[in-house]
Chains A and B, each alone.
Chain A
Amino acid sequence: MSVTVFDPDALDLRPSVWSRSLRFCRRQPLGTFGLALVLIIAVTGIFAEALAPYNPTANDFAAMTEAPSLDHWLGTDQFGRDLLSRIIFGARTALIVGLSSAFVGGSSGLVLGVASAYIGGTIDMLMQRVFDIVMAFPLIILALAIVSIFGTGVQNVIIAITIPLIPRCARVVRSAALVIREVPYVDAARACGFSAWRIILRHMVPNVMAPFLIMVTAFVGQAILAEASLSYLGLGVQEPVPAWGLMLQGGAEEYASTAPWIAIFPGVAIMLSVLGINLFGDALRDTLDPKLRDR
C-alpha cells in the first residue's frame, strides 16, 4: 500500500509572471503608462552614447541658440550644444541620482526602521526623536544645507538627497514592522535563539517589502526633482555635466523670451519622468496593498 503525501509546491496555483503582468496592465492602465515612461527614460539613460546624435558637452559656436530643426531636433543652447543630446545624457544623471538616492536612502531607512521597531524601548524612542528632527526640515532645505557643507557635484548631491530620505522611509517601515514584531513566527525565531540582526534581516525585513517598495518608487521621483531643484539653484551638478535641472538654470532663464526651447524641453523631461514614476508608484501601491488590490 502506498501513501501519497500531499506536496503543496507541486500544485502551483499562483499565476505566471506573464499573466500577473497582463493583469497589472489591464487593471492599472495609468500605472502601465508610468512604467513605460520610466522604462523609456531608463533605456535612454543607459544607451545614451548610442542614442545621442551629438556630444552633449561640445560647444558649437556656429549653432548658438538655434531653434528646433532637422539638424537639432530640440534646438541648441547658448553654447550651441544639442539639446536632445543633453536631455538624453541628462536622463542618465537623473537616473544615477534618483536611483542611488532612493535605494540607499530607502534601504538605510528600511534597516533602521525595522531595527527601531524590533529593539523598542529607549533606543526606539531616541531614534524616532532623531528622525523627528531630520524630518522637521523640508527635503530641499536639508539637501541645501548638506550641499553647502560638502560642496557641489554628483556624489555630494546624492548624499544630500539620501540623508533626508532615510527617516522618511524608516518612519513608514517602522509602523509596519511594529505589527510584524508581534506575530508568532518572530516569537518563534526569538525562542530559537536567533540573533536580533538575523531576525530583523531574515524575518522582518522581507515582510515590510510592500510599503518599502512603494516608498522607494516615490523616492526616485522626489530625488529627481530634488536634483533638478539643487542644480537649478546652482548647488547641484555643475556645467558641463548634462543634467535637466542645470539645463533649466543655465541659459533657460536668460533666454526664456528669445530661445524658450532651452527651458521647455528639459522641463518636459523632468515632468515626464516624475509623472511616470509617480503613476507607477501609485499603481504599485494599489497592487501590493491587499485592502486596495480588489477594488
Chain B
Amino acid sequence: MKFLFGLLALLAATLPARADGTPKHGGILTFMIPADAPPSLDGHKETTYATVHATAPFYSVLIRINPLNPASTDDFVCDLCTEMPKPTDDGKTWTFTIRDGVKWHDGSALTAADVAASWREIVHPRPGVASARQPYFIMVDEVSAPDAKTVVFKLNFATSAFLPALADPFAYIYKKEILDRDPHWYERNVMGSGPFRFVEYQIGQSMKGERNPDYYHEGLPYLDGFTAIFAPKQSVIIDAIRADRASNEFRGLPPSARDQLAKELGDKITVQTGDWNCVNMITANHKKKPFDDVRVRRALALAIDQWKGAPALAKIANVRTVGGVVFPGSPLAATKEELQQIVGYWPDIEKSRAEARRLLKEAGAEGLAFGLQNRNVDQPYKYIAAWIIDEWSKIGLKVTQKVLPTGPFFEGLRSGNFDVTVDFNCQGLVNPLLDIGKYLPHTVYEENYGNYEDQKVIDLYQAVLHENDSVKQRSLMREYETYVLDTQAHTIMMPWWERIVPIRSYVKGWKISPSHYINQDLGTVWLDK
C-alpha cells in the first residue's frame, strides 16, 4: 500500500513536467516585440520592455525569479551564483559565490569582478552614466569582489526589499573591461554570457540570437536561436500569430485579441493570463504653468470617474483594477474604502467634478487647453488617453493628444518637454516598497518625470522602507499614498493592467508572471514541433 501511495505521489510530482512534455532541442523561436526600436540596448539605463525582450536572452544576472515558477514573489534562484546565500551581520551583508566556468560570448572567463563592476554601475553609477533603477538600491552601501569567485553586498540597513530588488531582470552582468573602457558601450552593442549569442540587430526591425553552446546551465537553452520582430501595431502582431509567422508576443494583448485568436486558432493557441504589476499614470509637468498649482493637478484627478471607467475599459483594453500606488492584491494595497477617501477616487463623480471646476476657477485655469503626450503603443496607452481626454472635457478642459514613437516619447519625458504625459510604472517583481519609488522626485528617482522637488514625500518613503512591522508599514504606506495622490496630486493612477498572453501551443517552457519584464531570457523555452 505504501508503495502504491509512493508511486502515486511520484506520478503527481512529475505531472506538471509531463503535461508540458519532454523538452526538445532545436528550432528558432520567432516572436514579436510590440514596440518601436528601444532608445538603447542598455538594460541598466532603460525601463522599457522593448529593451529587455530584445536583449535579455544575451545576458546573465546574479539571481532571478525561478523561471519555472515566475508568478511567485519570493522564489528566487541563482543564475550566476552557486546557491542563494543567508545574510549575515544582522541582515546587512550578503555574500554570493559565482559559478565556475562561466564564459563571455567572446570566450573569456566571467569573474566576480565583472559582477561587482556591473552592480556598482547600477547602484552607484559614475557621473554621466544613467542607472534607471538606482533608487531601488538606496539600502546598498558597497559592492565588492574580494576574490574571483565572491561578490559581497554591504547594506546600510536591513530590509526585505533587497533580495527582490537584486532579482531585477534589467540587471545584466556586463564585462568589466568594456565598462572601464566605455560605460556607454552597451547602449549600442551586445556582449553577454547568457543563453544566446548576439547575431544581428536591425534597428526597429528585428533582433536575432543563436544558441550559446558554452552556456553554463546544463542542457540549456533548448532553442537553436530566436528572432524578435519589432512591430508596434497590434494588428500586425495578431496577423503574424494567426499566420504563424510568429508564435506570440510576451507583453500582453487586449481581451478582443485573445477572443479573436482563441476563436480562430482553437487548440493551436494557449492563453496565459494573470495580474500585471504594471500601471499607467497621468503625470503633470510641475515646471510648466499652471501645473505647478496643486489645485490644477487635483482638478485633473477629480474629473476622472475611475469606478465607472475601469470595468468598461476592461472590455476593450488590458486594464482592470482600480488601485492606488501599490499593486492591488498586495497586503500593502489600499482597500476600496480607503481609496474612496482620496482625490480622484470619490464615489460621487458629480461632486468630484463640481470640486474640480471650483478648483480650476479658483486657480484661474477654467477652459484650460494643453497637450497630453503619449506613447505610440495601442494597449493600453492610447485607450487610456482616449478615455481621460473625454473625462477631462466634462470639466471644460481642451486636451490635444500628442503621440510619439517610443524613442522620442522617452526623450520627451527626460527633457521635460511636455505639459502632461501618460506615464507608466511597470516593475519586474512585486516589491511594493521599491515599486512606489517611482513617485519620488526626479533627483531621487531618475524615472520620475513630474519635475518636482518634495522633501516630505522622500521622508514618508524612508519611513515606509525602514519600517519592518507590517501593521505600521501599512499605515505609513497609506500616508505616503494619500500625500502623493491627494495632498500634492503629483500623479494620477489609471486602472492597473491585466496581462493576457496568447501563445502558439507548440511553444513550451514559458510561464506568465506579474511582469512582462521577468523570465525573458528564453533559456527554458522549447518548441514542440
Contacts and interface: CB of A to CB of B under 8 A. Distances in A.
Interface of A: 57-59, 61, 64, 78-79, 148, 151-153, 234, 238-240, 250-251, 253-255, 257-258
B400 A234 contact: no
B404 A153 contact: no
A58 B390 contact: yes
A238 B256 contact: no
A61 B308 contact: yes
A230 to B, nearest CB: 12
Contacts of A254: 234-235, 254, 256-257, 316
Contact of B387 (A79, A251, A253): A79
Nearest to A259: B256
A257 B242 CA distance: 13
Contacts of B260: 257-258
A234 B316 contact: no
Interface residues of B toward A: which range? Answer: 20 to 34
A250 B233 CA distance: 10
B402 interface: yes
A86 B234 CA distance: 23
B385 interface: yes
Nearest to A78: B316
19 contacts: A58-B390, A58-B393, A61-B312, A78-B256, A78-B316, A153-B402, A234-B232, A234-B233, A238-B374, A238-B401, A238-B402, A238-B403, A239-B382, A239-B385, A254-B234, A254-B254, A255-B256, A258-B256, A258-B260
Interface of B: 232-235, 254, 256-257, 259-260, 263, 308-309, 312, 315-316, 374, 376, 382, 385-387, 389-390, 393, 400-405
Name which of B232, B257, B401 has the most chain A CB atoms within 10 A of its CB: B401
Contacts of A78: 256, 316
A38 B389 CA distance: 32
Contacts of B403: 152, 234, 238
Contacts of B263: 257
A250 B234 CA distance: 10
B235 A152 contact: no
A79 B386 contact: yes
A129 to B, nearest CB: 31
A250 B316 CA distance: 11
Contacts of B390: 57-59, 79, 240
A239 B389 contact: yes
Nearest to B376: A234
A61 B310 CA distance: 10
Contacts of B385: 239
Chain A contact residues, majority secondary structure: loop
B386 A240 contact: yes
Given A253-B234, A255-B256, A59 B387 contact: yes
A181 B376 CA distance: 51
B529 to A, nearest CB: 28
A148 to B, nearest CB: 8
Which 3 residue pairs are nearest across A and B when measured between Cβ atoms? A61-B312, A253-B235, A238-B401
B140 to A, nearest CB: 40
Given A152-B402, A239-B386, A240-B389, 13 more contacts: A58-B393, A61-B312, A78-B256, A79-B387, A153-B400, A234-B376, A238-B403, A239-B401, A240-B401, A254-B234, A254-B316, A257-B260, A258-B256
Contacts of B308: 61
A96 to B, nearest CB: 15
A148 B408 CA distance: 10
B309 A61 contact: yes
A253 B390 CA distance: 22
A95 B389 CA distance: 24
Contact of A64 (B259, B309, B315, B374): B315
Contact of A59 (B315, B382, B386): B386
A281 to B, nearest CB: 32
Name which of A61, A64, A250, A258 has the most chain B CB atoms within 10 A of its CB: A61
A152 B385 CA distance: 15
Nearest to B386: A239
B256 to A, nearest CB: 5
B520 to A, nearest CB: 25
A79 B382 CA distance: 12
Contacts of B389: 57, 239-240
Name which of A59, A64, A250, A257 has the most chain B CB atoms within 10 A of its CB: A59
Contacts of A79: 316, 386-387, 390
B402 A151 contact: yes
A238 B405 CA distance: 13
A236 B32 CA distance: 24
Contacts of B235: 253-254
Contacts of B259: 258
A122 B182 CA distance: 51
Contacts of A148: 405
Contacts of B387: 59, 79
Nearest to A156: B402
Contacts of A255: 256
Given A234-B376, A239-B385, A240-B389, A64 B402 contact: no
Contacts of B374: 238
A258 B374 CA distance: 28
A64 B402 CA distance: 25
